[in-house]
Amino acid sequence: MSEAAVGDADTTMQACLNLTDPKSFFLYAGAGSGKTHSLVEAIREFKRRERERLTFEGRRIAVITYTNAACDEILRRLEFDPLVEVSTIHAFCWRLIQGFDNEIREWLRIKLAQDIEKIEGELARSKGDNKTSRGNKRKLQSKTRRLETLDEITEFIYSPTGDNSERQALNHDEVIKLVATFAPERPLLDVLVDRYPVVLIDESQDTHAPVMEAFLKVQQLAQTRFCLGLLGDTMQQIYGHGVTRLDKAIPAYWLKPEKTVNRRCPRRVVDFINVIRRTADNHQQIPKPDAIEGVVRMYCVSQSQGHAPSLEEYIANSMAAITGDGEWATGPDGRKTLILEHKMAGRRMGFEKLFTALYAVERLQTGLLDGTLPALRVFSEGVLPILIAKDDNYLLLEAVRSRSPLLSRDVLQSTGDQMAHMERVEEATRDLLSLFEKNDPKLIEIATLLLQTQLLDVPDNLIAAMVLGAPDEAPDPEDTNAMITYSYQLFLERPFSELAAFASYADGFSPYGTHQGVKGLEFPRVMVVINDEEAGGFLFSYDKLLGIKEPSKTDRDNERDGKDNALARTRRLLYVTCSRAEKSLAIVVYTPHPTLAKQNVVAAGWLQESEVEIL
């Protein structure tokens, strides 16, 4: 496709954003095609034409992205213009339904009654007393109690980044389902369309299916006054909660511009990911005119988890020799290593036990992975900045001043002896720093000091775990509240160094990332680590994709019927990871059958025989 045709995609998208004659569209944008640039330019052009009308009518442009980091990037590029509201799907959904308390209450009344009826049926069918039945009894008590107290709640609350454990709080799943139910109905339909005449959804293939289906209904009901713009690539769908084959759900009359130039990857990587994609759909990319040739290599290794770091270092040195790029040989920081599961990064960076302690509880997983869990933040956003600033008095004072409740305006105004109060703050800060002078303190030591001095606020969940002390026998996994407390007990026994390592990883500053977590990012040198055994998951199977294991009958049936399956999910994941590389790509396959792996990738046309090495 020519540069002019690529420009046509942007022109088409910009023309769709029109208050008088809105047109909905799906922008097909493959890896590295400049999707965010197109999004930002379309919004800029729309604002230039319609700013006066939008402002006069009190309307805004809504942009929904997948992560908070993506929100921040788009806001920065748009210079934080108040006409544009950029948010994650959960934050956007909450803004839509916030204040509809009566409607929320009645929806919950019906939903809870249905849940209770279902649980009662499961209990009636259960055989004797076991973990499942005990868990169901607790769920039944919790839901019954919530149903009985619904009328006592006058205002519902929700935090897109919190654990929402308060009695009046909605959980993440409820917010999604509420919007899915009410958005296509009045009055919420009119609220949505009148407030946001243009809604643009980035990474639309991974947007929660109930909400996406509701937005498609809204578009059909309000075609003449609402523009729904979807941006994405079905080959980059990596989460199971999106609409399967979203492109098939889009009405035929929508416009479907496509960006096919890969502006990120070298020619060899573009050729490689095109071959991977060819069995999934007909969308192919071309490299930019001045793209370098680049290098792709695969290393097939007999499985050996214990020696993984040294093997990966050997491979990095091999890549340095092949590419002539010495950065490969400068250690983990010289490359981006992509692993399948967070615990694999934890094993390599030393935070595995801290991570697994919290990840064991589903309610804590979202806040753990995005770094918003209050139990993490007191250390990562409270203690760590103070520790980093310890050698600069000015920075140290600022770090404490901006974080400590002891220096809040209300506390300072109510303090009689200001001098004595400041001395108390200084002493508390010195006591905190002294914990780190000779050892690597446990988190419970730090939390105990913070609680005693009140230098930083300690979350209630941590305090509850501290009261119980060291962890004893694990509770029944079905008892969520007990499991949360137990997880925090385990967490508090970990050394601070593990917390610091995980904070670096969660913030994206480490040399490691997950296959799922790097979508939208790019790196000069990428090492993709494939190890089904170490990952221990079941949603993905590289051994099946590489022909080392036979796909199950269910996989084959689902593949034949166009349904999602382990092969399709893994193929998409490999496409996403390999398309991050700007210069060179190394794929490390840990497998009990390295020779077979090599034979299969060469036979499939993925790589030349000279590009695959068996270790």
220 has pLDDT over 90: yes
**pLDDT band with cut points at 50, 70 and 90 for residue 519:** low
Q: How far apart are CA 400 and CA 60, in angstroms?
A: 38
Give which of 332, 330, 334, 354 is closest to 343, Cα–Cα: 354
Condensed to tens digits (0 to 9), the pLDDT of residues 102-142 reads 999 999 999 999 999 998 888 888 777 776 777 778 788 88
Give which of 428, 471, 424, 466 is closest to 447, Cα–Cα: 466
CATH code reported for the domain at 267-340+515-614: 3.40.50
Question: What integer is the mean pLDDT of 183-191?
Answer: 92
Q: What is the pLDDT of residue 194?
A: 93
Q: What is the pLDDT of residue 368?
A: 78
161 has pLDDT over 70: no
Q: How far apart are CA 122 and CA 133, in angstroms?
A: 8
Q: What is the pLDDT of residue 306?
A: 61
Where is average pLDDT lowest: 1-10, 82-91, 109-118, 295-304? 1-10
Condensed to tens digits (0 to 9), the pLDDT of residues 521-571 reads 889 999 999 887 766 655 677 888 888 888 778 777 777 777 777 888 888
Q: What is the pLDDT of residue 77?
A: 92
430 has pLDDT over 80: yes
Q: What is the arrangement of strands in the sheet containing 512-514, beginning at the earlier edge strand?
A: 512-514, 336-339, 523-530, 581-591, 295-302, 612-614
Question: What three-state secondary structure class fits 197?
Answer: coil
Question: What integer is the mean pLDDT of 306-312?
Answer: 78
Question: How many C-beta atoms surround the C-beta of residue 437 within 10 A?
Answer: 7
Q: What is the pLDDT of residue 464?
A: 87
171 has pLDDT over 80: yes
299 has pLDDT over 50: yes
**pLDDT band with cut points at 50, 70 and 90 for residue 492:** very high
Q: Please provide residue 593's backbone torsions phi and psi, each rounded to the nearest 5 degrees.
A: -130, 70
Question: How many C-beta atoms surround the C-beta of residue 139 within 10 A?
Answer: 18
Which of 522 and 348 is assigned the larger pLDDT? 522
Q: Please provide residue 208's backbone torsions phi and psi, each rounded to the nearest 5 degrees.
A: -50, 130
Residue pair 476/482 in contact (Cβ under 8 Å)? The answer is: yes
164-168, 432-436, 457-461: range with highest mean pLDDT: 432-436
Q: Which CATH superfamily is domain 3-97+178-259 in?
A: P-loop containing nucleotide triphosphate hydrolases (3.40.50.300)
Q: What is the pLDDT of residue 93?
A: 94
Q: Please provide residue 589's backbone torsions phi and psi, each rounded to the nearest 5 degrees.
A: -110, 110
Which of 335 and 141 is assigned the larger pLDDT? 335
Q: What is the pLDDT of residue 254?
A: 95
Q: Give Cα 169 distance to the centre of its chain.
A: 22
Q: What is the pLDDT of residue 102?
A: 93
**pLDDT band with cut points at 50, 70 and 90 for residue 45:** very high
396 has pLDDT over 50: yes
For the chain, give the percent of residues with pLDDT over 70.
94
121-135, 265-279, 387-401: range with highest mean pLDDT: 265-279
Q: Which residues of 56-75 are buried (b: 16+ CB within 10 A; e: fewer)?
A: eeebbbbbbbbebebbebbb
Residues 6+ apart with CB under 8 A from 271: none
241 has pLDDT over 90: no
Q: What is the pLDDT of residue 109?
A: 94
Q: What is the pLDDT of residue 538?
A: 57
Question: What integer is the mean pLDDT of 21-30?
Answer: 93
Residue pair 276/571 in contact (Cβ under 8 Å)? The answer is: yes
3 has pLDDT over 50: no
Q: What's the angle, vertex CA 610, arms to CA 606 and CA 614, rounded to 5?
A: 90
**pLDDT band with cut points at 50, 70 and 90 for residue 2:** very low
Q: What is the pLDDT of residue 164?
A: 62
For the chain, give the percent of residues with pLDDT over 90.
48
Q: Which residues of 454-467 are buried (b: 16+ CB within 10 A; e: fewer)?
A: ebbebbebbeebbe
Question: What integer is the mean pLDDT of 493-517?
Answer: 81
Q: What is the pLDDT of residue 565?
A: 79
Q: What is the arrangement of strands in the sheet containing 61-65, beginning at the earlier edge strand?
A: 84-88, 61-65, 198-201, 227-232, 25-29, 258-259
Question: What integer is the mean pLDDT of 206-211?
Answer: 88
Q: What is the pLDDT of residue 488?
A: 92
Beta strands in 333-492 (DSSP E): 336-339
Q: How far apart are CA 586 and CA 297, in angstroms?
A: 5
Question: What integer is the mean pLDDT of 215-243?
Answer: 89
Question: What integer is the mean pLDDT of 288-310?
Answer: 86
Q: What is the pLDDT of residue 516?
A: 63
Q: What is the pLDDT of residue 547?
A: 83
Where is average pLDDT lowest: 121-125, 235-239, 257-261, 379-383? 235-239
Q: How far apart are CA 542 and CA 568, in angstroms?
A: 10
Q: How far apart are CA 490 and CA 357, in angstroms?
A: 6
